Structure 1
Amino acid sequence: MTGLPWDASYHDGPAPWDIGRPQSAIVRLASEGGFAGAVLDAGCGTGENALHIASLGLPVLGVDVAETALAIAREKADDRGIEVEFATADAFRLERLGRRFETVLDCGLFHTFDGDERPGYVASLASVIAHGGTLYVLCFSDDGPDAGPHPVSEEELRAAFDPGHGWSVATIEPDRIQTRYHDDGAPAWFATINRI
């Protein structure tokens, strides 16, 4: 998957999903101690979620296909004096990182994939999550008015993380994703999924 279309999203000012701060759901989760060990932020964009988690003292790697977004993320890290790592990576080839993570965050990435792309992405996630590790997915939901683009049903989310492939969906809760076009956020699912 080429990163060029995603990279172009950052060329003329902030992308629609780049709100200049971490998502409220991620801040809340972090305050509850939801992140532990080495953390991967898959599809980190300009790094606000990764930076927030790293500011708590956790080792964080943020990956994205958009080089422009990563350059912005690195600049933010330098400006704020936060130690965090950002790298170019294809979400379908995360095994190339050669690392394992106790916690993986997918904030706004899962819903960009079509149904036929999801098995490959989920297998890629499985290659980097330690057994007993936790995956958090915040994605656009089909439940409610003013949905974001590519909304996902709860059933689709559950089907993607099949117990037969080593996943256990702990919870899927309604939440919100802040965007530059939704005053109070768009309907979202916030899923906690364990690697078994």
Structure 2
Amino acid sequence: MSTPSTPDPFRGRRPTSHERLAGVPWDDSYRDGPAPWEIDGPQPAVVRAAAAGEFTGSVLDAGCGSGDNALRLAELGLSVVGVDVAETALAAARDKADALGLTVEFAAVDALHLEQLGRTFDTVLDCGLFHTFDGAERRDYVTSLAAVTARGGIAHILCFGDEGDDLGPHPVSRADLIAAFDTGWTVRRIALERVMTRFHPDGASAWFATMVRA
């Protein structure tokens, strides 16, 4: 008797522009050691925002990777869901949560189809995902974010920026961010920040944008 196979949540998923340029799926970034954006802890910009009370209610971490940002938010007592397409990263995130004794839901979900979650969140975090999409994908992604962000809810976007020194790959402009969120959102803030990576110990130039769902 054959065993029923587990449905593939990403069957038919078209590789993103980043995957097409790299020639490998996101999951490969985690198979041979830490991915370039994994820094053995949460991003300092996320830590500072959390300390300032920028995350409230239920939280979604879109493109959570191995979970460091989601776990930090959970440590603060927030209800957190982390999603990613990289199953290897999600397995690592679940192991970290177990080791810390934290309850965080980590799910395999395509960020371009977040509506599959069937729920909305008060705060959404995107740390390092927005800049991996090309122009057309950004429109789809923002529509996807709108489907899971409650009315009046907040989306925080931390992405590589095109101003300052030590730029990261795929930097985006302030205008790119405004254009992507020009329908159904209000821009509360777009501030210069830094994103730490294994290749940018002092941080790469970045934007920290806060968008409000109309």
Q: Is it true that 1:190 corresponds to 2:182 in the alignment?
A: no
Number of residue pairs aligned between Structure 1 and Structure 2 = 194
Change (3 A) 1:2 1:14: farther
Checking the alignment, whether the CA contact within 8 Å between 1:2 and 1:65 is kept in structure 2 is no
Counterpart residue identity of residue 207, structure 2 = W
Q: Which residue matches 2:147?
A: 127
For residues 115 and 141 of structure 2, the distance between their equivalents in structure 1, rounded to whole angstroms, comes to 11
Aligned-pair CA distance for 1:166: 1.2
Question: CA offsets per residue over residues 152-193 of structure 1, 9 Å max, x none?
Answer: 00000111000xx21000010000000000120000000011
* Bigger mean CA offset, 33-42 vs 1-10: 1-10
TM-score by length of 1: 0.97
Q: Which residue matches 2:44?
A: 24
For residues 35 and 154 of structure 1, the distance between their equivalents in structure 2, rounded to whole angstroms, comes to 22
For residues 33 and 83 of structure 1, the distance between their equivalents in structure 2, rounded to whole angstroms, comes to 20
State the secondary structure of the residue aligned to 1:175: strand
Checking the alignment, whether the CA contact within 8 Å between 1:167 and 1:194 is kept in structure 2 is yes
Q: Which residue matches 1:80?
A: 100
Counterpart residue identity of residue 148, structure 1 = G
Aligned-pair CA distance for 1:150: 0.2
Q: Which residue matches 1:160?
A: 180
For residues 113 and 70 of structure 1, the distance between their equivalents in structure 2, rounded to whole angstroms, comes to 21
Q: Is it true that 1:9 corresponds to 2:63 in the alignment?
A: no
Aligned-pair CA distance for 1:116: 1.4
State the secondary structure of the residue aligned to 1:117: helix
Unaligned segments of structure 2, at least 5 residues:
1-12, 16-23
Moved over 3 A (4+): 1-4
State the secondary structure of the residue aligned to 2:33: coil
Aligned-pair CA distance for 1:145: 2.3
For residues 93 and 14 of structure 2, the distance between their equivalents in structure 1, rounded to whole angstroms, comes to 20
Counterpart residue identity of residue 107, structure 1 = C
Q: Which residue matches 2:197?
A: 179
Q: Is it true that 1:40 corresponds to 2:60 in the alignment?
A: yes
Aligned-pair CA distance for 1:41: 0.1
For residues 64 and 117 of structure 1, the distance between their equivalents in structure 2, rounded to whole angstroms, comes to 16
Q: Is it true that 1:97 corresponds to 2:117 in the alignment?
A: yes
Q: Which residue matches 1:150?
A: 170
Q: Is it true that 1:169 corresponds to 2:187 in the alignment?
A: yes
Unaligned segments of structure 1, at least 5 residues:
none
Q: Is it true that 1:116 corresponds to 2:131 in the alignment?
A: no
State the secondary structure of the residue aligned to 1:9: helix
TM-score by length of 2: 0.89
For residues 20 and 132 of structure 1, the distance between their equivalents in structure 2, rounded to whole angstroms, comes to 33
Bigger Rg, which one: 2
Q: Which residue matches 2:10?
A: none
Counterpart residue identity of residue 150, structure 2 = A
Q: Percent identity?
A: 63
Question: CA offsets per residue over residues 39-71 of structure 1, 9 Å max, x none?
Answer: 000000000000000111111000000000000
For residues 209 and 201 of structure 2, the distance between their equivalents in structure 1, rounded to whole angstroms, comes to 23
Aligned-pair CA distance for 1:2: 5.6
Q: Is it true that 1:62 corresponds to 2:85 in the alignment?
A: no
State the superposition RMSD in angstroms: 1.0
